[in-house]
Structure formats: C-alpha cells, structure tokens
Amino acid sequence: MRLIYKATEENIAKAGKILKNGGVVAIPTETVYGLAANALDEKAVAKIFAAKGRPADNPLIVHITDAKDIEKYAYPNEKAAALAKEFWPGPLTMILPKKDCIPDIVSAGLDTVAIRCPSHPVARAIINAAEVPLAAPSANISGKPSATTAKHVLKDFGESIDAVIDGGTCDCGVESTVVTVATEPPVLLRPGFVTPEQLRKVLPDLKIAEAVTKELPAGAKALSPGMKHKHYAPKAEAYAVLGSQEKATEFILNRISKDKRTAVICFDGEEKAFKDVSEVFPYGAADDSERQAAKLFDLLRELDDDGIEEVYIRAGKMSGVGLAVYNRLIRACEFRIFNADGENR
C-alpha cells in the first residue's frame, strides 16, 4: 500500500479531503513533520493520540494559515497580536485562553490552546485544502526522536495512518518555540528557532520557565508540548556532556563501556579523539547551534538503526537556538547531564 505521496497539487487536495473526513495525515512543516487531524473533530484527534501512544495530558498545537483566525479558536490579546505581526508565519506557537469550539482532548483539559501559523508552503496548502484548523504534534511515536523526513514518519507509523505528504527534509529540525501569553508576564515554555533574544524585543518582560533547562516537577501539568521528562529519546542510554573540548573528551573516553556498542555525537573537529569508538557523528561546530538542531534528531534515529546501546552527546551553548538544542538534548538523555569542567548537573 502506497503511503508516501509527493507534495503535488493533486496529492495536497487528497490530503485535505482525508483530513476533512476525519483521517490522519503526516505533513511537513519548517520545524518537524506533524501528525495532523481536524482540530475541531474529537474523534479524529483521538486517532493521533492512539497512533503516537501519546499521554492524554500532553496538549496539541492547532495550526492555522491566517493570524486573523486566532479569534475563531482563542481569545487573543495585544501581546499575541505583536508576536503574530513579528514572527508569523513561522516557527512560533502561542498559548492563549481557548474558545469552547476547541475540544478538551486538544488542550489536554486545560483552559488554554496552543496555536501556530506555519510558514512551510506545503503545510499551509494542506491546511487550506482541508478547510479546518489542524491539530498536529510531531509525527513520531511518543517519547522518541521527532521526524524530520517522510521516511522517518513511515518507519514509525507504517499503515497506522492514512498518508504521508513528502515535503523534503525539514529546515529547522526541532519543534516550534512555545510562549504563553495567557499569563502575566508571558513565559517561554519550549525554546525553538524563535529565540529568547528575539522574543524579548517584542516582549521585554518575557520569563523563561524553569522546565526549559530542568526536569518538570512530579505531578506538575505540562502547559506545552515537549515539557515531559523523557522526550526525543533514542533506544540507547544517552548522556549529555558539557565542558571544554579537552576535558569533555577525557571524560567521555574514561566512561565509555568496553562491553557495549557505543557512539559519540561531537562537535566538528573533535571526531579524531574518538577513533576507537564504534561510531562517531560530528553534528556541527560548537558555536553552530542551527546546524546541530538540523542534525540532532536524524542522528538519534540513526543510532537506533545501528543498534547503539550507549551514546555520549556534546552539549553546546545555551543561548539563541542553542537553548532549543540543549532543551531537546537533556530530555533525550533523561537528564543524565555531566559537566566535564565541574560537577554533574
């Protein structure tokens, strides 16, 4: 059975029809692939949760193509309008008080809804063809690395979804930035390609949630996707390693298990130090967070394909897009974080 379809006008129209009729379609966006269904159809959205094995307390993001449509599904404010003007369409999600038309299954029972206006032309065309807003979390099995290609999606879901529209490799490689403007002050809940530095030019009073760089406290509600303890994780036992090149290299080499198939994901130029390690993957220069973001999930999936049991991953700067990479990395490592220059985090 054919499941992956090229992003032609004909196939986009077919995808729109499937979605309008309550089906589930994986779609490309500028961030990662999304598993889409009609956000206003509770039964259709339930299919997303079933396919992903997603916990019911993890809210979804509603995707639209026109900022004016916010008023159909939420109660916007001046800060939302300012963010939309500056960053939409693009990789920014806003959380606002929701209207009753949004089913509770979408908002995980919260009185707010997450809304995004993507910039990817195929995603926008599919939303317009469906003529409904689309709820679309990342198109991966819950807890595993997000999908940045159509093949990733197919490997995770096979025939359990209706179709995959192939729009090529995603540009960003990590999910959207999430900001709640339903509170005062506004709070960054999940970092992404729209950085805190950019956001503060519009929202000078922006705060950063502790859960961006720390574990969500036990019993605390996830106000945004991506706040759960374990997320984006490979099958291998993963460790994040901070610190200088010299100290981090020494630390990793001293810890590597001799009886496990081990890999290292390092910065460009560090790979020679790990010549005796089973597999070594450079994923960008230490200061090139955008490159790291683009490669991270693809590499984590490659580890699974290669049967890697243990992986050490170099963690870089925590500013700009680097904060998004760090946020995904520590969750992929289940908060097993080491600072080679000092104490464990």
The reply to whether 217 falls in a domain is: no
- Residue-range definition of the domain harbouring residue 69: 4-212
CATH number at residue 180: 3.90.870.10
From residue 275, alpha-carbon distances to 107, 156, 256, 278, 295 in Å are 48, 32, 13, 8, 21
The alpha carbons of the chain give a radius of gyration, in whole angstroms, of 20
Same structural domain, 165 and 255: no
Same structural domain, 281 and 139: no
pLDDT tens digits, 143-189: 999 999 999 999 999 999 999 999 999 999 999 999 999 999 999 99
Same structural domain, 297 and 172: no
Same structural domain, 202 and 249: no
Tokens of 261: 């198939």
Q: What residues are paired with 340 via a beta bridge? A: none
Edge-first strand order for the sheet with 279-282 is 279-282, 262-266, 310-314, 237-242, 337-339
Same structural domain, 121 and 11: yes
The reply to whether 229 falls in a domain is: no
Same structural domain, 81 and 159: yes
Same structural domain, 274 and 322: yes
pLDDT tens digits, 285-337: 999 999 999 999 999 999 999 999 999 999 999 999 999 999 999 999 999 99
Tell me how far apart the alpha carbons of residues 185 and 92 are, in angstroms, rounded to a whole number.
18
Rounded to two decimals, the pTM is: 0.96
Same structural domain, 202 and 289: no
Does residue 107 contact residue 135 with C-beta atoms inside 8 Å?
Answer: no
The reply to whether 115 falls in a domain is: yes
In the DSSP assignment, the letter for residue 147 is: P
Same structural domain, 185 and 243: no
pLDDT tens digits, 17-71: 999 999 999 999 999 999 999 999 999 999 999 999 999 989 999 999 999 999 9
The reply to whether 220 falls in a domain is: no
